[in-house]
Copies of this chain bind each other. A is one copy, B any other.
Amino acid sequence: MEHAERLLAAAGELFYRQGVRAVGMDEVRAASGVSLKRLYQCFPSKEALVVAWLERRDEQWMSSLTSYVRERGDRVEAVFEWLERWFGEDGFRGCGFLNAYGELGATSEAVAEVVRRHKRRLRDLLRELAGDDDALAEQLFILVEGATVTAMVDPGRAAATARAAGRAARALTSPHQD
């Protein structure tokens, strides 16, 4: 359906930029150009819209990161190059999943579940890039998460943050080589 896509794009932009609870359904209607009646035909509640947004964001975010690192020979460093680009995008405001979890995770189990699923997928990708080294993958995951929230709070130094995390990743991946 055409309308669902317009709704998800408009709602996602608003949710990400302002936080979920700060955005009313009428604001989604105005930004998407889809009538309120059809909005509720596509998504029976605001919670359903939020969950659908996060699922779509998971697919797009993971697919963008995955194809970037695939094109660069599955090197771990490519993850942090990709992060640096992402942090520099207009309107970057941290991890939409972590923000949604902090805001709604205690209230909505459906939101908490889709966030955990996204983080599991990210961890799986990092484990694969780490050659199935679970301990290293966990450290890389922590670096990615830490760099992302740090870049959110201090966007002026976001590029430096991504590079610092990338250097840490390199040191952890090849601890005896520098």
Cβ A18 vs Cβ B107 within 8 A = yes
CB nearest neighbor in B for A100: B102
Instruction: Judge whether A22 is part of the interface by a CB distance below 8 angstroms.
Output: yes
Q: Which of B116, B141, B153, B160 contacts A138 (CB 8 A)?
A: B160
Instruction: Judge whether A48 is part of the interface by a CB distance below 8 angstroms.
Output: no
Judged by DSSP, the binding face of A is: helix
* Copies of this chain, tallied across the complex: 2
CB nearest neighbor in B for A145: B146
Cβ B145 vs Cβ A98 within 8 A = no
Given A19-B106, A102-B102, A145-B146, are A138 and B115 neighbors across the interface (CB < 8 Å)?
no
Q: Nearest Cβ in chain B — how far from A20, in angstroms?
A: 8
